[in-house]
Amino acid sequence: MSTSTFPVTTSAPRRDDSDAPVVVFDRVSLAFDEKVILQDVSFTLRSGHMKIILGASGAGKSTILRLILGLLKPDGGAITVNGHRVDQMREADLMEVRTGVGMVFQEGALFDSLTVNENVGYRLYEETRQPLEQVDARVAEVLGFVGLGEYGQRMPSELSGGQRRRVAIARAICAKPGVILYDEPTTGLDPITALTIDDEIVKLRDLEEVTSIIVTHQLRDAFYIATHEAARQGNEIDFVKASPKKAAETAFVVLKDAGVLFEGAADELRASDDPYIRAFLS
């Protein structure tokens, strides 16, 4: 598959320390009142790699993303993000860690009262002292990257579901974070629109070397992202079948009964004979 795109000039931090752990979950547990959400969950995400977290509704997938950002605190275990123990940090100190992590929320979570431009550049406009012209240029660049260069002055309410998700992706990447977390990025979208979102995620992973975690129960999108890779051909970007090396950099994590049932590559997941996974994939 090939797509004509805006020249990719976004630049998340390049991987200088390949395979260094970026996100580490070590026996993390969390319960809300009597309900255990996560129990001794452990995994490691390395620089430039991707984890795709699958599981039934209520399995704790989105909770993992909120724990990484420090929006929730675990009851036990350790969570390390870019070398910081986020489970032990105060809210004020977490702001620094969050500058290195972007998040695409379910349904986008765009700010209703701000234009698309203001949403996308929010962090740079509000939380940095960068010159306005520089921020405006960056906003235009990332909106072009997600194919919405003409939509900067619109309000979020004027956008379709797919456009809102793409704006949310643009907002997440605008400040050039090294890690991006996607919470159900394609849920509720038609297959064609979902594919454009999948392509954005693949582009960011392969061309920008962004470390990422995707939470989803959309198997079609999950396998597409895991088995394809983006390659630049001049001003064109091709989406081709992933090489074995690239495919090995994306791992699936399947959650069940508050724990990790499976962790491995797409082929291993497909080959699994675990009855739950067979039922989940069928």
- If binding is defined by CB under 8 A, does position 95 make contact with other proteins? yes
Under rule CB under 8 A, residue 13 binds other proteins: no
Q: Is 66 in the site for other proteins (CB under 8 A)?
A: yes
Residue 130 touching other proteins (CB under 8 A)? no
Residues 52 and 250: their CA atoms lie apart, in Å, by 7
- State which residue, 107 or 136, has the beta carbon closest to other proteins: 107
Considering the rule CB under 8 A, would residue 158 count as an interface residue with other proteins? no
Q: Which stretch binds other proteins (CB under 8 A): 120-128, 136-144, 189-197, 260-268?
A: 120-128
Give the residue with the Cβ less far from other proteins, 124 or 266: 124
For the CB of residue 192, give the shortest distance to other proteins in the complex, in Å: 25
Number of residues that bind other proteins (CB under 8 A): 24
- C-alpha triplet 113, 117, 122: angle, nearest 5°: 70
Confirm or reject binding of residue 69 to other proteins (CB under 8 A): yes
Are β-strands 2-4 and 236-241 bridged in parallel, bridged antiparallel, or unpaired?
antiparallel
Residue 22 near residue 45 (C-beta atoms within 8 A): yes
Neighbours of 51 (CB within 10 A): 22
Question: CA-CA distances (angstroms) from residue 26 to 61, 149, 224, 239?
Answer: 16, 41, 29, 35
Q: Given the rule CB under 8 A, which of 47-55, 78-86, 98-106, 145-153 is the region that contacts other proteins?
A: 98-106
In the bound state with other proteins, the residue whose beta carbon lies nearer, of 123 and 232, is: 123
Alpha carbon of 224 to those of 34, 52, 114, 194, 199: distances in Å?
Answer: 37, 11, 33, 11, 9
Task: Tell me if 53 contacts other proteins by CB under 8 A.
Answer: no
Q: Which is nearer to other proteins, 165 or 171 (CB)?
A: 171
**Shortest Cβ distance from residue 123 to other proteins (Å)?**
5
- 143 is a contact residue toward other proteins (CB under 8 A): no
Q: Please say whether the beta carbons of 81 and 280 come within 8 A.
A: no
Q: What is the dihedral of CA 110, 115, 120, 124, to 10 degrees?
A: -120
DSSP 174-230: HT--SEEEEESTTTT--HHHHHHHHHHHHHHHHHS--EEEEE---HHHHHHHHHEEE
Q: Which amino acid is at 214?
A: I
Position 165 contacts other proteins (CB under 8 A): no
Stretch that binds other proteins, among 75-83, 87-95, 130-138, 158-166 (CB under 8 A): 87-95
With respect to other proteins, which residue has the nearer C-beta, 20 or 95? 95
Residue where the block lists tokens 């960068």: 130
Q: Which of 52, 53, 64, 103 binds other proteins (CB under 8 A)?
A: 103
Look at residue 237 and give its three-state secondary structure: strand
Tell me which residues touch other proteins (CB under 8 A): 66, 69, 71, 91-92, 95-96, 98-99, 101-103, 105-107, 109-112, 122-123, 126-127, 171
